[in-house]
Chain A
Amino acid sequence: MSMPKLFVIVASTLLLSACATNRIAQHQEYAVAGEAFSEAVSELTREASILAIDSDTKFLMLQKTILTDPAQRAARETLINNHSTSLDEYLDNLRLMRKHMTLLNRYFASLSQIGSDKIQEDRVAGIGALVSELGKVGVDLSSATIGGKQVSGLIPTVTKHLVASRQNKLLEAELEKRKDTILKELDIQQAYLVALQAQMERDLKTLADAQIFLDVAAPFISDAALPLDWADRRRKAHATRVSSDAAGNAALASKKLKSVFVELVEGKPSAGKFAETMQSINKVLDIVDVIENLN
């Protein structure tokens, strides 16, 4: 066998491994997006809980101004009971959704670990142990050359690519085994986010309307002087109404993550899709900032 032919054998092995490395990078992008998505949805769910409490509280404060008469005591009791039960039930469901998001996040984190570059680096770091094993080959590979390159210099590369090839096989097997589960998961997440978005919009509107009545209109109509922070209260109340549009970004992020996954399954990831998805996930966190600034 000629030296160039041998070089082709080694080079082909490494080229195949390079393809595996590219595929691992695609898996890795998907896992990173999945991790970011599940964290963002978990955070959004937490903010939705806070928003629901704030909105319900402000609504009850508004109702209290309508139900001031001693004869309305029974109505006040009914209101506080019904609202407490309803809010608890809703918050409990959100808490359980967050628990599921933690599981989803752990799944994506495991995927990310399998595809991590660190695994390859760790194995290459252990190359010292390999060199002592060379004696078993019966040929002094450390001084041998292929295509003008020392075989010993190839050892770290070979190790790295063998690990990459194993990583790729594991990731492909996992993709094949659980693709239906993930597709179903992303569809259900989308449905969840649509439901959550609608409730958040409702809560923001209710909160804004109650704020406008209690913090803006009532002090203005009253004979007393305006509170010192009246202008701030007014600005905040009207800003709450505007912010309700931002909740729609979460469902969109879920849709984009699904399209990244579908492309990964089909083996045709398109350039820029990952960045676009991450941008969309970042927008989910905008609403978190908006809600945090409401108080």
Chain B
Amino acid sequence: MTDNELKLATQKTLSEAIDARMTLEALLALQALPTEERTRAALQLSNLVLAYRKITTTRIETIRQDLRDNADDLQAGIDAMKEALKEIADAQKMIAATTQFLSVVGRILVLL
């Protein structure tokens, strides 16, 4: 079982445990318990909710670490495209390219 599969399985178990304790019937029964037991049950339920969220947070932290290298490369791509846009927008270069193309056509026309 991979680390991720283990986390998923744990979250599934935690979710089932939370669901079982959050039904209307279970919550009404909890209200009727003596103070000490009520405290214990409330803290237990809270710990289940917190544990579930802790696993999600850890999963997202791992994902963010994986994205760190990508972020540098994406920024490099953005910078490269900014330069490329400048190059395309360079009217002189485009005039030269079009003129070159037309000159070829022109030379051929002269030969006709």
- Judging by beta carbons under 8 Å apart, are A166 and B39 in contact? no
Sample of 10 further A-B pairs with CB below 8 A, known A106-B74, A178-B74: A1-B111, A62-B27, A86-B57, A97-B63, A126-B91, A130-B95, A137-B102, A151-B105, A174-B77, A213-B27
**Stretch binding the partner chain, chosen from A204-212, A257-265, A276-284:** A204-212
Given contacts A67-B42, A130-B95, contact A195 B56 (CB under 8 A): yes
Q: What chain A residues lie within 8 Å of B110 (beta carbons)?
A: 139
How far is A209 from B49 in the complex, measured between Cα atoms in Å?
13
A139→B109 contact, CB < 8 A: yes
Interface membership of A167, Cβ < 8 A: yes
Whether A90 lies near B88 (C-beta < 8 A) is: no
- Chain A interface residues toward B at CB < 8 A: 1, 3, 6, 9-10, 13, 52, 59, 62-63, 65-67, 69, 71-72, 75, 78-79, 82-83, 86-87, 89-90, 93-94, 96-97, 100, 103-104, 106-107, 110-111, 113-114, 119, 122-123, 126, 129-130, 133-134, 136-139, 141, 144, 146, 151, 155, 158-159, 162-163, 166-167, 170, 174, 177-178, 181, 184-185, 188, 191-192, 195-196, 198-199, 202, 205-206, 209-210, 212-213, 217, 221
Instruction: Judge whether B1 is part of the interface by a CB distance below 8 angstroms.
Output: no
Hey, which bits of chain B sit against chain A, CB under 8 A?
Answer: 4, 8, 11, 15, 18-19, 22-24, 27-28, 30-31, 35, 38-39, 41-43, 45-46, 49-50, 52-54, 56-57, 59-61, 63-64, 66-67, 70-71, 73-75, 77-78, 80-82, 84-85, 88-89, 91, 94-95, 97-99, 101-103, 105-112
Q: Is the CB of B59 within 8 A of A195?
A: yes
Q: Tell me if A9 and B108 are in contact (CB < 8 A).
A: yes
Closest A-B pairs by Cβ, 3 of them: A209-B22, A139-B106, A110-B81
- A212–B19 Cα gap in the complex (Å)? 13
B interface: dominant SS: helix
Q: In whole angstroms, what is the CA distance A155 to B105 when docked?
A: 11
A174, B53: Cβ atoms under 8 Å?
A: no
Q: Are B53 and A90 in contact (CB under 8 A)?
A: yes
Nearest B residue (CB) for A109:
B78
Q: Which of A126, A177, A195, A202 has the most CB of B within 10 A?
A: A195
CB pair B99 A133 closer than 8 Å: yes
Residues of B near A87 (CB, < 8 A) are: 53
Chain A, interface SS category: helix
A130-B99, A134-B102, A163-B94 as given contacts; A174 in contact with B80, CB under 8 Å:
yes
Chain A CB within 10 Å, residue with most, of B52, B84, B98: B98
Provide the bound-state CA to CA distance between A62 and B42, in Å. Answer: 10
How many Å lie between the Cα of A167 and that of B88 in the bound state?
8
Residue of A whose beta carbon sits closest to that of B82:
A110
- In the docked arrangement, what's the CA distance between A6 and B46, Å? 81
Nearest CB on B from A179, distance (A): 11
Contact B24 A63 (CB under 8 A): no
Q: Which residues of B lie under 8 Å from residue A185 when comparing CB positions? A: 67, 70, 74
